[in-house]
């Protein structure tokens, strides 16, 4: 029965790929850059280039436009369609992309850029400084809080000439190169001008190396290379992206060479299987997206620091990390950032101590028990729900481990599996933390933990700055440090000192529990295409996999 199920899924994938690739003879259809059974080898027009690849995308991300995508997967793929002024390389270093190398920065507050020549949007309109100005103003009126936050940091934008633009920030921001200029997608002002809701625009018209030529809701995307792209013609002409959310189906598609790659990762249990297949390469790189246990700090009893600390002592974070990822992850710390970053504060490792957890709980008055579960003052069981995404096996497994461990200290946890949209509505309604939250615990993750302002986004009670604060954490200590020191930071050394202080506060007050930073484990078929590039925190589906860095 299971074999038949896989065959049905793969049949759908193949049909979608053939539809995307275009018409061919009845004897020969290209699927994912390979010729169907009965023919010989895949063809390439030039060394290192191919005509078509089929790459699974794990979610339907709407039109891939900057105001319609729904997750980090959409942000990854829409970077192929939309350019940014700056970008990050394989070492996670910021480098210029759309602009000349001689850009000017004054006190991390004033930035002057000159556009590289030859850039144009997919509708043929040239990219001008006016488009850059518009791209950093328009999101301020939109619902996507991350973009709105970055654009609201800008005090003024001056168009000096057709290709030169000057930004002045309201306050110095040492990390705006990453948070702003490497994040905000460049828009054609002719497309969005006068449109109140950017999400209503169905056409994805960027200036990136690929244009979206077809999208069928719930089924597939079709990308086509821009041959006169200013950074060079992409080495893959067509990318077909069937939408496949089932991990097993993706793995079968990769093993059968129906897929060349996927936007998603594989589990550690599949590494040996793929490495044993000729032409398959497993790329493993440090990941910056943590698995987090969110705690709703605004809901009793999670509003008590001692209760949150009891949760942390009652969880064996090291064992959870090892069970889920083996050697392919870095365990989280109470400081909420990767411990191998230069500004990580030492000595903030989680300590598994059930006796300490029990001591804290009993100190809060939770002494009575019924069937091993503690009771509150009203005689109610300490029973809570943990929300997790359906179809995410790793997060579901994490929930099971958390459930087992917390039961040992007398806390009952019920796992609530929900589709993404439903879960988000409870945890992050309308993707705006100012709209509140309605959950006890949840599994979560952010892909931006390498940003110098990540902790502020995660924990500031000013929701304009703390736009990732889905835990509703409020800390006088944390907010005071940010208010007194952030605006006066004038060097990397000062920023790192501030971040270490902030980590200490978070470690004391435990607004959330960071379980692990999993390595990115992605599989690519290097016989179909050998240009894949991987790097720190980088999905293999990235701009450098298709155009060489210059």
Indicate whether 431 belongs to any domain.
yes
Residues 442 and 413 in one domain: yes
Indicate whether 285 belongs to any domain.
no
Stretch 25-36: mean pLDDT, rounded? 28
Q: Which of 337, 347, 331 is nearest to 515 (CA)?
A: 331
Tokens of 233: 């013609």
Indicate whether 148 belongs to any domain.
yes
Which pLDDT value is given to residue 48? 64
Which pLDDT value is given to residue 427? 97
Number of residues in the chain: 550
Residues 56 and 71 in one domain: yes
Tokens of 67: 């105001």
Q: Could you tell me where the beta strands, DSSP code E, fall in 122-191?
A: 154-161, 164-169
Find the domain containing 173 and state its range.
86-200
pLDDT band at 548 (very low <50, low <70, confident <90, very high): confident
Indicate whether 384 belongs to any domain.
yes
Indicate whether 491 belongs to any domain.
yes
**Total of domains in the chain:** 3
Residues 304 and 402 in one domain: yes
Among 160, 181, 200, identify where a domain stops. 200
Which pLDDT value is given to residue 9? 44
Residues 142 and 122 in one domain: yes
Q: Could you tell me where the beta strands, DSSP code E, fall in 17-153?
A: 30-31, 34-35, 50-56, 86-88, 94-96, 104-106, 110-114
pLDDT band at 36 (very low <50, low <70, confident <90, very high): very low
- Buried-state track 286-307, b at ≥16 Cβ within 10 A, e below 16: bbbbbbbbbbbbeeebbeeeeb
Map residue 248 onto helix, strand or coil. Answer: helix
Map residue 139 onto helix, strand or coil. Answer: helix
Tokens of 301: 């009893």
Q: How far apart are CA 513 and CA 443, in angstroms?
A: 10
Residues 381 and 238 in one domain: no
451: domain CATH number is 3.10.105.10
Residues 59 and 103 in one domain: no
Residues 96 and 66 in one domain: no
Indicate whether 529 belongs to any domain.
no
Q: Name the maximum alpha-carbon separation found in the chain.
A: 76
Q: Which of 88, 14, 25 is nearest to 56 (CA)?
A: 14
Residues 113 and 69 in one domain: no
Which pLDDT value is given to residue 25? 30
Indicate whether 531 belongs to any domain.
no
Which pLDDT value is given to residue 508? 98
Residues 161 and 257 in one domain: no
Q: How far apart are CA 358 and CA 363, in angstroms?
A: 8
**pLDDT per residue over 377-396, tens digit each?**
999 999 999 999 998 889 99
Residues 409 and 463 in one domain: yes
C-alpha distances in Å from residue 510, one per residue of 1, 335, 475, 502: 47, 9, 11, 12
User: CA neighbours within 13 Å on the CB side: how many for 546?
Assistant: 28
| DSSP-assigned beta bridge partners for residue 96 | 86
Q: How far apart are CA 272 and CA 252, in angstroms?
A: 15
Pairing assessment for the beta strands 520-525 and 369-370 based on DSSP bridges = unpaired
pLDDT band at 297 (very low <50, low <70, confident <90, very high): very high
Among 153, 178, 200, identify where a domain stops. 200
Residues 190 and 214 in one domain: no
Indicate whether 170 belongs to any domain.
yes
Q: Is the peptide bond before 61 cis (omega within 30 degrees of 0)?
A: no
Q: Which H helix or E strand runs over 442?
A: strand 441-444
Rounded to the nearest integer, the mean pLDDT of the chain is 90
Query: Is the pTM of the predicted complex or chain greater than 0.85?
Result: no
Residues 39 and 102 in one domain: no
161: domain CATH number is 3.90.76.10
**pLDDT per residue over 471-525, tens digit each?**
999 999 999 999 999 988 888 899 999 999 999 999 999 999 999 999 989 999 9
């Amino acid at each position: 029965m299971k074999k038949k199920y896989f065959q049905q899924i793969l049949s759908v994938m193949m049909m979608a790929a053939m539809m995307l690739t275009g018409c061919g003879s009845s004897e020969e259809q290209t699927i994912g850059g390979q010729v169907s059974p009965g023919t010989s080898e895949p063809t390439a027009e030039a060394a290192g280039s191919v005509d078509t690849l089929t790459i699974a995308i794990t979610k339907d991300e709407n039109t891939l436009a900057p105001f319609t995508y729904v997750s980090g997967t959409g942000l990854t793929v829409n970077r192929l369609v939309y350019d940014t002024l700056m970008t990050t390389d394989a070492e996670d270093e910021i480098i210029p992309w759309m602009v000349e190398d001689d850009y000017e920065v004054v006190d991390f507050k004033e930035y002057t850029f000159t556009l590289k020549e030859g850039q144009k949007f997919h509708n043929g309109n040239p990219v001008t400084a006016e488009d850059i100005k518009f791209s950093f103003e328009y999101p301020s009126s939109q619902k996507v809080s991350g973009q709105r936050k970055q654009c609201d940091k800008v005090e003024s934008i001056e168009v000096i000439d057709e290709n030169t633009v000057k930004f002045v920030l309201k306050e110095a921001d040492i990390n705006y190169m990453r948070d702003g200029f490497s994040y905000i997608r460049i828009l054609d002002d002719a497309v969005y001008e006068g449109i109140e809701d950017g999400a209503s625009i169905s056409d994805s018209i960027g200036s990136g190396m690929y244009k979206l030529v077809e999208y069928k809701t719930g089924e597939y995307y079709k990308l086509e290379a821009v041959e006169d792209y200013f950074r060079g013609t992409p080495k893959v002409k067509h990318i077909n992206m069937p939408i496949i959310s089932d991990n097993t189906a993706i793995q079968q598609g990769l093993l059968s060479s129906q897929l060349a790659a996927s936007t998603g990762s594989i589990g550690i249990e599949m590494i040996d299987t793929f490495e044993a297949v000729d032409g398959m390469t497993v790329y493993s790189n440090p990941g910056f997206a943590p698995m987090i246990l969110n705690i709703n700090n605004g809901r009793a009893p999670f509003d008590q620091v001692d209760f949150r600390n009891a949760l942390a002592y009652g969880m064996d974070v090291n064992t959870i990390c090892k069970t889920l990822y083996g050697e392919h992850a870095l365990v989280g710390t109470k400081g909420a950032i990767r411990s191998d970053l230069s500004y990580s504060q030492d000595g903030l490792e989680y300590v598994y101590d059930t006796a300490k957890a029990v001591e804290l709980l009993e100190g809060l008055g939770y002494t009575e028990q019924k069937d091993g579960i503690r009771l509150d003052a009203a005689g109610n069981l300490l029973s809570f729900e943990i929300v997790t995404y359906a179809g995410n096996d790793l997060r579901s497994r994490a929930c099971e481990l958390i459930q087992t461990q917390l039961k040992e200290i007398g806390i009952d946890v019920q796992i609530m599996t929900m589709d993404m949209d439903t879960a988000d509505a409870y945890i992050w309604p309308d993707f705006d933390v100012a709209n509140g939250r309605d959950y006890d615990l949840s599994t979560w993750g952010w892909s931006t933990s390498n940003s110098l302002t990540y902790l502020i986004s995660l924990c500031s009670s000013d929701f304009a700055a703390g736009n990732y604060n889905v835990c509703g954490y409020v800390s006088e200590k944390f907010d005071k440090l940010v208010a007194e020191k952030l605006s006066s930071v004038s060097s990397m050394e000062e920023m790192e000192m501030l971040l270490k202080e902030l980590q200490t506060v978070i470690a004391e007050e435990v607004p959330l529990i960071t379980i692990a930073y999993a390595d990115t484990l992605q599989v690519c078929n290097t016989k179909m295409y050998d240009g894949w590039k991987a790097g720190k925190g980088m999905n293999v589906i990235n701009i450098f996999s298709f155009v060489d860095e210059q």
